């Protein structure tokens, strides 16, 4: 799989460990961002990675920083991105299966390298599920597009479920 990865100054060590892990697993890794600087701004760095995902340059992305929270919030402002900060394997798998997560954010100050590698393996190994999850993804897309989401806006959609 072709994976994009980026980090701000607080996620550099975890990023390096993950790049090595991904390559050992046979993934093609494309790195994004600028050299680390204590004054770097994660919204600008995550934007470059998110745009690459939206353009199809990479299949999925990973961003590392101190907590993972800010980049997830920033990335979710970009149409076509579904980002989440994850700190366990189950959530990584579930996020792909249910919402087709395409940008994983991880906090170097929150989790260690080995847990991060395990989370990344689950994230990359998970497959998107259909059924009710597809219906809900369509509802999310409607919200993203500013379209009113109702029971009739997509065939089979149910309000409030």
Where in the chain are the domains? 2-128, 130-161
Q: What is the pTM of this model?
A: 0.88
Per-residue pLDDT of 10-64, as tens digits, reads 999 999 999 999 999 999 999 998 888 888 999 999 999 999 999 999 999 999 9
CATH number belonging to domain 2-128: 3.40.1400.10
Residues marked as catalytic: 65, 98
- Dist CA 134 CA 38 (whole Å): 40
Neighbouring C-beta atoms of residue 5, cutoff 10 Å:
26
**Residue of 11, 138, 139 whose CA lies nearest to 64:** 11
Per-residue pLDDT of 88-106, as tens digits, reads 999 999 999 999 999 999 9
């Amino acid at each position: 799989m072709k994976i994009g990865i980026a980090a701000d100054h607080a996620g550099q060590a975890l990023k390096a460990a993950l790049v090595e892990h991904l390559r050992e697993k046979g993934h093609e890794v494309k790195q994004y961002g600028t050299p680390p600087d204590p004054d770097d701004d994660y919204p600008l760095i995550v934007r470059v990675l998110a745009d690459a995902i939206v353009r199809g340059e990479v299949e999925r992305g990973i961003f590392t920083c101190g907590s993972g929270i800010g980049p997830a919030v920033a990335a979710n402002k970009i149409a076509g991105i579904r980002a989440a900060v994850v700190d366990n394997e189950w959530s990584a798998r579930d996020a792909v299966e249910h919402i087709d997560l395409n940008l994983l954010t991880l906090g170097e100050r929150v989790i260690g390298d080995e847990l991060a590698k395990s989370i990344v393996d689950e994230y990359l190994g998970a497959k998107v599920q259909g059924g009710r999850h597809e219906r809900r993804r369509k509802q999310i897309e409607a919200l993203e597009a500013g379209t009113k989401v109702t029971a009739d806006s997509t065939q089979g959609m149910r309000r409030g479920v």
